[in-house]
Amino acid sequence: MYRKYLKGKIHGARVSETNINYSGSITVDLDLMDAAGLAPFEMVTVVNVTNAERFETYVIEGERGSGYIGLNGGAAKKGEPGDTLIIFSSIWAKKGRKIDVKVIISDSSNKVKESRVTRIVT
């Protein structure tokens, strides 16, 4: 039997910009992606803490070190600049698998404020 587990999470990211004319996705600073273990085009769930919206999309790389978080296409209707987000990815795993869960807390400039890795055995 497989179960779904948290793989990586960015907590407290702030929306930098919205772009309704882009074809879709969320753009995330590559430093944040790396810290949370997110890969380009990986599916993520996004929770907008400010307005309680929740949606799924894929991640595209933002400029490293820029602190940029952009909501694109239809996702642009789910938030406004300054909104606080939680961005997380999941993984399906069988019993007995080891997973390193990466959780980062971002500051108000979308820089890594705190980072932790928790190894779990499913």
Catalytic residue flag (residue 25):
yes
Catalytic residue flag (residue 89):
no
- Pairing type for strands 17-19 and 69-72 reads parallel
Considering 16, 22, 23, 25, which one is annotated as catalytic?
A: 25
The angle at the Cα of 118, spanning 89 to 42, to the nearest 5 degrees, equals: 15
Considering 5, 22, 58, 66, which one is annotated as catalytic?
A: 58
What secondary structure does DSSP assign to 70-116, as a single string?
A: EEEGGGGGG--TT-EEEEEEEEEEETT-EEEEEEEEE-TTS-EEEEE
Q: Which residues are catalytic?
A: 25, 58
